[in-house]
Chain A
Amino acid sequence: MSQQAVNGVPCRGKVLTVDNMNPNVKRVEYAVRGPIVQRAVQIEKELREGVKKPFTEVIKANIGDAHAMGQKPITFLRQVLALCSYPELLEDNKFPEDAKKRAQRILGACGGHSIGAYSASQGIECVRQDVARYIEKRDGGIPSNPDNIYLSTGASDAIVTMLKLLVCGEGRDRTGVMISIPQYPLYSAALADLGAVQISYYLDEEKCWSLDVAELRRALNAARQHCNPRVLCIINPGNPTGQVQSRQCIEDVIRFAKEEHLFLMADEVYQDNVYAEGCKFHSFKKVLFEMGPEYSSTVEMASFHSTSKCYMGECGFRGGYMEVINMDPEVKTQLTKLVSVRLCPPVPGQALLDLVVNPPQPDEPSYITFMKERTAVLSALAEKARLTEQTFNAVPGITCNPVQGAMYTFPRITLPEKAIDKAKEEGKVPDMYYCMRLLEEEGICLVPGSGFGQREGTFHFRMTILPPTEKLKVVLQKIRDFHVRFTQEFS
């Protein structure tokens, strides 16, 4: 008998329980950091404690974290950020002039000349101006208004903010949001959290994960039965698939969005990560405007970018922005109000973003080193993309679409019937079972395809191509060997 009952005080349950808490929160899952990662962390702990395993380290190829995998920061970016953090360093002649100039400009835009002061909720004005200029340059001169730029705590923050703004209605009128299958699980988690209706549209694995408007239409029409579809999310270049959409495809999507009266959310955080021959990044905004005023003055859209990917890989700074296009001014007021609830995005991240959109120019002292470092990162990624595709496609039972862009590979794996049965026995989804086995036997942490969504009866995993080339070769080899063993075991 508990102490309380003994004392005559009635036993009481918790005030906040699983039954009375927000039901939406219970539906939130985020595979990228899910159970397999938790097991990986546990194994790392065991290794540190001296437990013997068939491997000496866990290779975390589950998350798109470049620096964690050994990618070096870009010198210029870190120099400016150091100057911003501790302005006394402006006296230090070890720092180049162009770095100092940018630091002074950023600090001049901060309250009290400190990155520790709050900024405007929408972001530091001169940074937004620089972002707008960068977008104009990128898009061949199509104007960008700094007032339409919202800086954010990484792109994820801006994506969630937009969804928070848009999701409304009850029952059959509840907002439906179209997302791709496979998708980056932030979207499905955010939709679950907001109680929005997820409308899945399948990317075509046979056609290099391309997007087909007919499939969009199918998904939309089916969804109209039970919700109010209002938003269409696209990730380009894609995550986890890495596909880079063709210009034609982007036009088709825009046309579709206009016809069906949908708000477009274009997640373009991998815009610098394009590797395959014949592939090119086309920004949704650019294509929109090149389609003429019938589209460019009507289609409502938000595009997202971040400092976490591309050649910088600065995930830890939480820098990002969104550009809203053709947003109703009243709605924009509401959006501006909403972002002020969290006060402001991290100022170091805003400073970093400013440097990304305003890098050293050819006539500046840091230019040569900057370009060298940038090129090295991007060409290494391109090489690893090619190597990965090649290696996996040579393994019977693994097929891998070309990694056209982004930072991941999403190969399809054939699992023997007996393995699928074994997985069921253990209460696991088959590709989770596969990935768990791989983790336990080889110390390699991947994310099962079920975490991203896939066609019924197919299995995949997502692996990042971020480990250094030599290590990546070893990882690819180990996965290959594991797959062969696994297939044999369950034959």
Chain B
Amino acid sequence: LSVNKAHISKLHPCMSLTPFNCTREMSVLQEISQNVRSIKQLEYAVLARRANQIQKELSQGVRKPYKELIDVCWGDPHSMDVKPLTFVRQVLAACVYPELMSSHKLPLDVRQRAQWLLGRCDGGSVGSYLAPTGIPEIVQRMSESIRSRDGGVPCNPDNIFISPGSQWSLTNIIQVLVNNEAPLRTGILTPVPCHVTTIMSIKSLGAAVIPYFLSEEHGWALQVEELQRALESAKGGCNPVALYVINPGNPAGYVQSRKSIQEVIQFASEKRLFLLADEVYQDCVYGKNSEFVSYKRVLAEMGPPFSDTVELASFHSVSKGFMGECGLRGGYVELVNLDPNVVKYIFNLICKDSTTPVLAHFAMDLMMNPPRPGDPSYPLYNQVRNATAHEVVNSLPGFSCQPVEGGAFVFPRVFLPPRAIQKAKEEGMQPDTFYCMRLLEEMGVLVSPGCEYGQKEGTYHIRFCIMASQDIIDQVLKRLTTFHTKFMKDFS
């Protein structure tokens, strides 16, 4: 089992390890943006600090019940030993160092693709700037791929805007929606539970989060009555302008049904809300009966008036799926039914912000136009993924885990005994953070607490990533099982 020490050192830098010697008078910077201040400090920070210490102790030879730490907190497949796709890396290497293209060690389809991609760059180099909206031929291919994904629903390449990652795109679109000169603060409906970066993006722009609870008992279903309640609760407090959904989910591993998506679209239409559909896990679907269908497709299939009025932004990225290339920083947003005058301003904003790495843009082409049957690289490229981790967790008394139909995580509910909750309070920690801390100390496994993402009052969860090597998943489940059994016994 290989755990990368370097990976541990990538722990969230909210913990500043070096003490700061600073004795001077009132700093210029005491006043900083309120929006930035309002971003919450992560629970993860406290766990990461301890994990770092443990890592140090391990490297100093301190004896522990385990030889290595396993960090399964983040949706970062490569750091959990999922291998990069050979085709992707061969193409990127050839683009970076074109001398490789004359090498017959690289398969023909690799060389051809690299040549095509490089030929689209200014000066034939990946070192030149990308046009803000990307390379037209690549974006054209992306739009064709989207059309194919959506069963023929047209896709206009002019409505696709690339970026260094889906969060970057999301932040840009939210920025356009937020009006700080309006009498009421802009509000965005956001699910509970929700992954942290979206919440941080919303807060950093000065907007308000309007939480709507997903229904755990119903497989984390999104219920319209709950959306209605959330919207009501916002009255007078802020001005709701948008509804953010993530499908497949994070942290909860649901995949929305067509019916559910229709209901959301109808709601957005009725209540005049802008739809933000985060679909980065669209290629991570496991359930036998689940199928990813895009918001755009459902919208189109609903026909007028919805199909030509509901305003939608859908987000995708190269970080997840089979490629898992989080470090390349590539994503895009597709805009549907927006006012063309608004799109002009979005274009301006993107121009100033224009900063997508060329390799990331190439990765988009590789993701959306993979090798086909008959191509030399096809056999190696094809992969199947299973997810059975949630079954193991669900089988443990004290855990209850909804089926994971998609996404990258397992988000089981843990029924903490009252004594454990009490102990947590004594130690000044959230109960699920306490559970995670204990798991870290005793078993060397780092997972994140449900309180990080939001959950119903009085419930507790943990989240861990299953986009990992089978080895790592097996180890995590083994250690978690041992720990959990003992924990529940100790605190009964």
Q: Which residues of A contact B (CB under 8 A)?
A: 3-4, 9, 12, 14-18, 20-26, 28-30, 33-34, 41, 63, 65-73, 78-79, 81-83, 85-86, 89, 92, 108-122, 124-125, 145, 147, 153-154, 156-157, 160, 164-169, 175, 185-186, 189-190, 193, 195, 230, 261-263, 297-298, 300, 312-318, 326-329, 331-334, 336-349
- Assembled-state Cα–Cα distance A124/B329 (Å): 15
Tell me, yes or no, whether B63 is within 8 Å of chain A by CB.
no
Find residues 312-363 in chain B having any chain A CB closer than 8 Å to their own CB: 323-329, 337-339, 341-342, 345-346, 348-349, 351-360
Find residues 1-38 in chain B having any chain A CB closer than 8 Å to their own CB: 4, 6-7, 9-14, 16-18, 20, 22, 24, 27-37
Contact A73 B125 (CB under 8 A): yes
Contact of B93 among A86, A108, A262, A263 (CB under 8 A): A86
Contact A112 B7 (CB under 8 A): yes
Contact A25 B176 (CB under 8 A): yes
Interface string of B158-181 (1 = CB under 8 A from A): 000000110110010001111111
Contact A315 B129 (CB under 8 A): yes
Tell me, yes or no, whether B304 is within 8 Å of chain A by CB.
yes
Name A190's closest neighbour in chain B (CB-CB).
Answer: B352
Contact B342 A85 (CB under 8 A): no
Contact B123 A337 (CB under 8 A): no
B residues less than 8 Å from A34 (CB atoms): 351
- Tell me whether A189 and B28 are in contact in the complex, defined as CB-CB below 8 angstroms, given that A22-B175, A341-B201 are known contacts: no
Tell me, yes or no, whether B447 is within 8 Å of chain A by CB.
no
Contact A346 B327 (CB under 8 A): yes
Tell me, yes or no, whether B76 is within 8 Å of chain A by CB.
yes
CB<8 Å pairs between A and B, sample of 9: A21-B177, A67-B122, A86-B90, A117-B7, A118-B327, A124-B10, A165-B33, A318-B356, A336-B16
A65, A340, A341 interface centre (most CB from chain B within 10 Å): A341
Closest chain-B Cβ to A370's Cβ sits at a distance in Å of 15
- Assembled-state Cα–Cα distance A338/B200 (Å): 9
Contact B327 A119 (CB under 8 A): yes
A residues less than 8 Å from B20 (CB atoms): 329, 332
Tell me, yes or no, whether B59 is within 8 Å of chain A by CB.
no
- Assembled-state Cα–Cα distance A22/B7 (Å): 39
A residues less than 8 Å from B17 (CB atoms): 147
- Assembled-state Cα–Cα distance A16/B123 (Å): 39
Tell me, yes or no, whether B130 is within 8 Å of chain A by CB.
yes
Contact A116 B84 (CB under 8 A): yes
Contact A110 B176 (CB under 8 A): no
Contact of A168 among B34, B304, B342 (CB under 8 A): B34
- Assembled-state Cα–Cα distance A333/B324 (Å): 29
Tell me, yes or no, whether B56 is within 8 Å of chain A by CB.
no
- Assembled-state Cα–Cα distance A340/B11 (Å): 11
B residues less than 8 Å from A3 (CB atoms): 304
Closest chain-B Cβ to A417's Cβ sits at a distance in Å of 33
B34, B164, B325, B327 interface centre (most CB from chain A within 10 Å): B327
Contact B326 A23 (CB under 8 A): no
A residues less than 8 Å from B341 (CB atoms): 17-18
Contact A341 B28 (CB under 8 A): no
- Tell me whether A337 and B339 are in contact in the complex, defined as CB-CB below 8 angstroms, given that A186-B352, A316-B127, A318-B355 are known contacts: no
Name A79's closest neighbour in chain B (CB-CB).
Answer: B97
Contact of A118 among B76, B125, B323 (CB under 8 A): B76
Contact B357 A349 (CB under 8 A): yes
A residues less than 8 Å from B39 (CB atoms): 337-338, 341
- Tell me whether A22 and B179 are in contact in the complex, defined as CB-CB below 8 angstroms, given that A71-B123, A111-B10, A329-B16 are known contacts: yes
Closest chain-A Cβ to B335's Cβ sits at a distance in Å of 10
Find residues 179-235 in chain B having any chain A CB closer than 8 Å to their own CB: 179-182, 197, 200-201, 204
- Assembled-state Cα–Cα distance A312/B328 (Å): 20
- Tell me whether A164 and B33 are in contact in the complex, defined as CB-CB below 8 angstroms, given that A22-B178, A116-B328 are known contacts: yes
- Assembled-state Cα–Cα distance A318/B330 (Å): 12
Task: Count residues on chain B whose CB falls below 8 Å from chain A CBs.
Answer: 108
Closest chain-A Cβ to B342's Cβ sits at a distance in Å of 6
Contact B179 A341 (CB under 8 A): no
Contact A120 B10 (CB under 8 A): yes
A329, A336, A337 interface centre (most CB from chain B within 10 Å): A337
- Tell me whether A25 and B327 are in contact in the complex, defined as CB-CB below 8 angstroms, given that A156-B355, A334-B37 are known contacts: no
Contact of A297 among B24, B96, B197, B352 (CB under 8 A): B24
B132, B304, B354 interface centre (most CB from chain A within 10 Å): B354
- Tell me whether A116 and B78 are in contact in the complex, defined as CB-CB below 8 angstroms, given that A15-B311, A18-B339, A125-B9 are known contacts: yes
Name B10's closest neighbour in chain A (CB-CB).
Answer: A120
Closest chain-B Cβ to A111's Cβ sits at a distance in Å of 3
- Assembled-state Cα–Cα distance A63/B39 (Å): 36
- Tell me whether A153 and B355 are in contact in the complex, defined as CB-CB below 8 angstroms, given that A89-B93, A117-B327 are known contacts: yes
B residues less than 8 Å from A78 (CB atoms): 96-97
- Assembled-state Cα–Cα distance A343/B198 (Å): 11
Contact B13 A82 (CB under 8 A): no
Closest chain-A Cβ to B207's Cβ sits at a distance in Å of 10
- Tell me whether A316 and B125 are in contact in the complex, defined as CB-CB below 8 angstroms, given that A20-B182, A120-B11, A334-B37 are known contacts: yes
Contact A261 B28 (CB under 8 A): yes
Contact B123 A69 (CB under 8 A): yes
Name A14's closest neighbour in chain B (CB-CB).
Answer: B339
- Assembled-state Cα–Cα distance A125/B27 (Å): 27
Contact of A316 among B78, B97, B201, B357 (CB under 8 A): B357
- Assembled-state Cα–Cα distance A230/B264 (Å): 46
Contact A328 B30 (CB under 8 A): yes
Contact of B129 among A26, A118, A316 (CB under 8 A): A316
Tell me, yes or no, whether B241 is within 8 Å of chain A by CB.
yes
Contact A300 B29 (CB under 8 A): yes
17 more A-B residue pairs beyond the given contacts A334-B37, A346-B359, with a C-beta to C-beta distance below 8 A: A16-B339, A25-B349, A30-B352, A33-B354, A66-B127, A67-B122, A68-B125, A89-B100, A111-B78, A114-B84, A120-B10, A122-B13, A165-B33, A185-B352, A332-B20, A338-B39, A343-B329
Name B80's closest neighbour in chain A (CB-CB).
Answer: A112
Tell me, yes or no, whether B291 is within 8 Å of chain A by CB.
no
A residues less than 8 Å from B14 (CB atoms): 333, 336-337, 340
- Assembled-state Cα–Cα distance A379/B125 (Å): 21
Closest chain-A Cβ to B250's Cβ sits at a distance in Å of 14
Tell me, yes or no, whether B74 is within 8 Å of chain A by CB.
yes
- Assembled-state Cα–Cα distance A313/B358 (Å): 14
Interface string of B75-105 (1 = CB under 8 A from A): 0111111101000011011101100100001
- Assembled-state Cα–Cα distance A22/B181 (Å): 8
- Assembled-state Cα–Cα distance A333/B39 (Å): 11
Tell me, yes or no, whether B145 is within 8 Å of chain A by CB.
no
Contact A16 B76 (CB under 8 A): no
Tell me, yes or no, whether B126 is within 8 Å of chain A by CB.
yes
Closest chain-B Cβ to A152's Cβ sits at a distance in Å of 10
Contact B129 A63 (CB under 8 A): yes
A residues less than 8 Å from B76 (CB atoms): 111, 117-118
- Tell me whether A85 and B339 are in contact in the complex, defined as CB-CB below 8 angstroms, given that A15-B241, A340-B12 are known contacts: no
Name A120's closest neighbour in chain B (CB-CB).
Answer: B10
Name A337's closest neighbour in chain B (CB-CB).
Answer: B39
Q: Which 6 A-B pairs have the closest CB atoms?
A: A111-B79, A347-B327, A68-B122, A82-B97, A316-B358, A86-B93
B residues less than 8 Å from A63 (CB atoms): 129
Tell me, yes or no, whether B128 is within 8 Å of chain A by CB.
yes
Tell me, yes or no, whether B258 is within 8 Å of chain A by CB.
no
B residues less than 8 Å from A297 (CB atoms): 24
Find residues 113-171 in chain B having any chain A CB closer than 8 Å to their own CB: 121-123, 125-132, 164-165, 167-168, 171
Contact A86 B342 (CB under 8 A): no
- Tell me whether A262 and B177 are in contact in the complex, defined as CB-CB below 8 angstroms, given that A15-B274, A314-B127 are known contacts: no
A residues less than 8 Å from B165 (CB atoms): 342-343
Contact B22 A117 (CB under 8 A): no
- Assembled-state Cα–Cα distance A412/B279 (Å): 51
- Assembled-state Cα–Cα distance A455/B197 (Å): 44
Contact A20 B179 (CB under 8 A): yes
A66, A112, A338 interface centre (most CB from chain B within 10 Å): A112
B residues less than 8 Å from A116 (CB atoms): 77-78, 84, 323-328
- Assembled-state Cα–Cα distance A94/B97 (Å): 12
